[in-house]
Structure 1
Amino acid sequence: MGLCHGTLTAIPSGPVLEHRKLRNGSGLVTAAMPDAALTCLDFWCRGGSAWENDGEEGIAHFLEHMVFKGSRRLGPGEFDRRIEALGGSSNAATGFDDVHYHVLVPTAQSEEALDLLLDLVLDPALEQESFSMERDVVLEEIAQYRDQPDDQVLQTLLELCCAPHCYGRPILGWEKSLREMDPAGMRRYHHRRYRGENCCLSLAGNIREDLIRHVLNSPLAELGKLSDTDPSETTRSALSFRRGRECRRFPRLEAARLMMVWPMASANDQLAVAGADLATTILAEGRRSRLVQRLREELQIVESIDMDVTTLELGSLVMLEACCPDDQIECVEVEINRQLEQSLTSAIEEEEFNRAMQLVGNGHRFSLEAPGSVAASAGSQTLWGRHRDLLAPLQDLTHWDATALRQQVMPLLQPGNSFTLIARSEDNN
């Protein structure tokens, strides 16, 4: 017997978020998980690659590297050694919109870990010798990225449909800009972006009250505030998207690719994002989804096909990728377009709608199980002013039904609204 709609949309309990504002405008969000043995401290900053000015392309990601080369108080490698000595781990990631640094430690060590994290992130040394050495590491990372055919297909697609918007350039940056950077310029970028209202600290797990008091009196509260008249505060424009179709050849590409991308609502429109998640799940997630069942299981003309939503602050993107033998690429494109066009008139059956609700809902439910994922979700939402309950995405799903998806979302995901890239190997001329 299938699950009823009430079971699918039932909202479980989850960690409760508490929001605080520090005296300089920085945010603090906590998600208490009393039974957890670990505490995650996740520092977020509106300092991703989309905030780079001309000539700074790649500085956000480069700064992430340089942060881990030490602070004025912590020598190179000392942060990692001390976090590991506490029984913890650390990592960081730079995206288009933001960057975050997180540590996961036993609860008893969380105050010391906080001091180490904030010292590293807020007061990086940015010494010339380390700067020159780490720039070579980043340049090598770019070279390796360029040597990966799949990565080049994706970057080419983004450049074709998004450039000159900031989402159309690589987060790793451009070699020319990186070679011309110096520590002084990076300090200016750090000072510009790592300021009060631009920053947020997220705590999840077993959280002691002493830790919260420690945050409120920490260097995070001493960061300078943003100035409304600061000319260095770049104003970012909404995503500009170009529709179209192109064919390109790439060296060493093992299988042909059909890539399609559509513009979607920005991250602030959470209901629209939820609808896009459901629609892409119905179309291309799992063996029973429409595109997978038709192209891979029945026609057997693709090796793989998937579709997902990349949620971004200036405009999200829905991306479809189909891998297939080179001689099948035309058939694949025709069939994908046919299936997308049929989604306008073909009713979404109760079974496939319930399946999508279950898959998308479970993704959110599973994200509430570990302190690291809870801290990331709470930190990201708080950074961008969305003070929402962790279970709000499950409520968003209940806004949708099969008819609304077919009438409101499927029309957006039509071939004529997309940019399509046909990628083939240079070896198959």
Structure 2
Amino acid sequence: MGLCHGILSHPSQGPELTHQTFGNGSRCVFAPMPDAGLTCLDFWCRAGSAFENKGEEGLAHFLEHMVFKGSRQLGAGDFDRRIEALGGSSNAATGFDDVHFHVLVPPEGACEALELLLDLVLEPALRADAYGMERDVVLEEIAQYRDQPDEQVVQHLLASSCANHPYGRPILGWEESLLASSPDTMAAFHQRRYRGTNCCLMVAGAIPKGLEQTISASRLASLATQPEGHPNGIDETLNFQRGRDTIQVERLEAARLLMAWPAAAADQQHQVMGIDLATTLLAEGRRSRLVERLREELQIVESIDMDLTTLEQGSLVMLEACCPAEHIEEVEAEVDRVLQECASTPVQAAEMERGRQLVGNGLRFSLEAPGSVAGIAGPQALWREPQDPLRPLQDLQNWTAAGLQSDVFGQLQASRAFTLVALPEEAS
């Protein structure tokens, strides 16, 4: 990843956020970007797969599909046609913790797009005739997912290391639960989760005149409140399981070494930034420790990656190395050696600076477009108090080499991981 020194030396300024909380607990956050030619309206809800009860597995993602099949006011396909007529586009995504629906439109169409978006998301029709057909689509999606060897290896790692926790099961869910579901069970899930305190609207980009007033008078501000004593968060804290397993996978093109570690939850921002910095030093770019040693010097891996997935009940660090099966033991030994080296000796100042630049500029570059700003600031505002999008850079700068060595690299050791070796079926 090539970085321009001029960009590194002159960090961009993130948009200044303003926010409003309505009487029902729902929130709206504005990120004005006057020079942007578009407006992003991003609706976030604490309704990811982790909130599914037993027997509801997959319902959060299925609901995302059903939302686009129409509302009480909109027929199937009407929403997409009207958003496209405004010159805009729309999309949605379901995660473990939350789900979001967003539109990107020219500012002059933002007020109309808002009404359409909130109608679609908050008043889904869940028509019985569309339910069975769309369930078949989701079931086919699950079948395709299970037919991808790489995806199944990662899912095996999650299921093993996050056993008995929602993070260990597929967001797509299980066929038997979906087949047993009905429009009524989905409506009950929607009514349970899509309530004021669980919802946040993120508005980024050009803010047209009148949009704030439209939001204040919208369905967002009149959503039902959460019943007293009803939990807003996820009840289960991630109980990570260390261990080891070896599996053989049909049609896997190369052997895989995968390792997973538990990490700080999303609200522990200082620790999260330290982990992000550590994984960058280990596996971001040709000069990173693991890439330089295993791919450039020894040439025993085809690729090696290490990423942090930030989650509300406990984040996850995952390493994946692809290599010929005959090199798998050597790869594991070298990974262990590099990790031990990082835990025993502080990284040099120049290496720390390189890591800070990579992490910092990744954040700065992400603040150039309304959609990416909404994707960063939206979940932050949903789960916590809104903050300056560049606030994590302060936590990044507070990390020292000694602190990284003791508090992060000391935890990213093979003895603390769940390790999975995945081999092509023929390599027995």
Same fold by TM-score greater than 0.5: yes
CA contact (8 A) 1:59 1:178 kept: yes
For residue 208 of structure 1, report the CA deviation from its aligned partner: 2.2
Would you say the 8 A contact 1:9–1:394 is kept in 2?
no
Query: Corresponding residue for 1:302?
Result: 301
Residues 158-177 of structure 1 show CA distances to partners (whole Å, capped at 9, x for unaligned) of 00000111100100000000
How much has 1:349 moved relative to structure 2? 1.3
1:291 aligned to 2:290? yes
1:376 positional shift: 1.6
> One-letter code of the match for 1:371?
P
- Paired position in structure 1 for 2:392: 393
1:60-87 deviation per Cα after TM superposition (whole angstroms, max 9, x unaligned): 0000000001101100011001101100
Query: In the aligned structure 2, how far is the partner of 1:28 from the partner of 1:357?
Result: 32
Query: Which residue of 1 is the match for residue 127 of structure 2?
Result: 127
Q: TM-score, normalised by structure 2?
A: 0.97
Q: Distance in 2 between matches of 1:9 and 1:334?
A: 39
Q: Is contact 1:8-1:357 (8 Å) kept?
A: no
Do the aligned residues in 1 keep the contact of 2:348 with 2:401 (CA within 8 Å)? yes
Q: Is the 8 A contact 2:8 2:361 kept in 1?
A: no
Q: What code does the residue aligned with 1:428 have?
A: A
* 1:235 CA displacement: 4.8
1:23-172 pair list within 5 angstroms? 23-172=23-172
Provide closer, same or farther for how the CA distance between residues 204 and 61 of structure 1 changes in structure 2, counting only shifts above 3 A: same
- Over residues 3-49 of structure 1, what are the superposed CA-to-partner deviations in whole Å (9 max), with x where a residue is unaligned? 9x9x9686542200001001211010000001111000000000000
| CA offsets 1:324-363 (integer angstroms, 9 cap, x no match) | 0011101100111111111112330122111111110011
In structure 1, how many angstroms separate the alpha carbons of the residues matched to 2:300 and 2:385?
43
The SS at the match of 2:343 is coil
Partner Cα separation in structure 2 for residue 10 and residue 340 of structure 1: 33
Q: State the Cα distance separating 1:412 from its structure 2 match.
A: 0.7
SS at match of 1:343: helix
Return 246-255 or 340-349, whichever deviates more.
340-349
> Quick check: 1:11–1:395 contact (8 Å CA) kept in 2?
no
Question: How many residues are aligned here?
Answer: 425
In 2, the alpha carbon distance for the partners of 1:26 and 1:307 equals 36
TM-score by length of 1: 0.97
Task: Say if 1:20 and 1:28, in contact at 8 Å, map to a contact too.
Answer: yes
The reply on whether 1:319 has 2:318 as its aligned counterpart is yes
Q: In the alignment, is the contact (CA less than 8 A) between 2:301 and 2:321 conserved in 1?
A: yes
- Quote the Cα distance in structure 2 between the aligned partners of 1:153 and 1:81: 39
Q: Which residue identity lines up with residue 346 of structure 1 in the other structure?
A: T
Q: Deviations over 1:170-221 (max 9, x none)?
A: 0000000000000000000000000000000000011024101100100111
Name the CA distance, whole Å, in 2 between partners of 1:52 and 1:9. Answer: 46
The percentage of counterpart residues that share the same residue type is 62
Judge conservation of contact 1:62–1:138 (CA < 8 Å) in 2.
Answer: yes
**Aligned mates of 1:75, 1:378 — CA distance in 2:** 31
Post-superposition offset of 1:422? 0.3
Alignment of 1:306-385 (within 5 A): 306-385=305-384
Q: CA RMSD in A?
A: 1.6
Matched residue of 1:72: which SS?
coil
Is the 8 Å Cα contact of residues 50 and 234 (structure 2) preserved in structure 1? no
Paired residue secondary structure (1:119)? helix
Moved over 3 A (4+): 7-12
Cα-to-partner distance string for 1:395-425 (whole Å, 9 max, x where unaligned): 1111112221112110010111100000001
Superposed CA offset, 1:369-418 (max 9, x none): 00001112111100002321111011111111222111211001011110
Q: Distance in 2 between matches of 1:228 and 1:172?
A: 31
2:336/2:414 contact within 8 Å kept? yes
Distance 2:8 2:14 in 1: 16
Work out the CA distance in 1 between the residues paired with 2:91 and 2:179: 25
Q: Quick one: structure 1 residues 24 and 83, their matched pair in 2 at CA, closer, same or farther if it must change by over 3 Å? A: same
Aligned to 2:266: 267
2:195 corresponds to 1:221: no
Question: Partners in 2 of 1:252 and 1:424 — Cα distance?
Answer: 10
* CA distance, structure 2, for counterparts of residue 106 and residue 29 of structure 1: 19
Counterpart amino acid of 1:117? L
In 1: Cα distance, 2:318 partner to 2:117 partner: 35
The answer to whether the Cα contact below 8 Å between 1:9 and 1:398 also exists between their aligned partners in 2 is no
* Contact 2:94–2:100 (8 Å) recurs in 1: yes
One-letter code of the match for 1:123? E
SS in 2 for 1:341: helix
In structure 2, give the amino acid aligned to 1:13. Answer: Q
Name the amino acid aligned to 1:397: L
> Aligned pair in 2 of structure 1 residues 188, 9: CA closer, same or farther (>3 Å)?
farther
- Supply the AA of the counterpart residue of 1:316: S
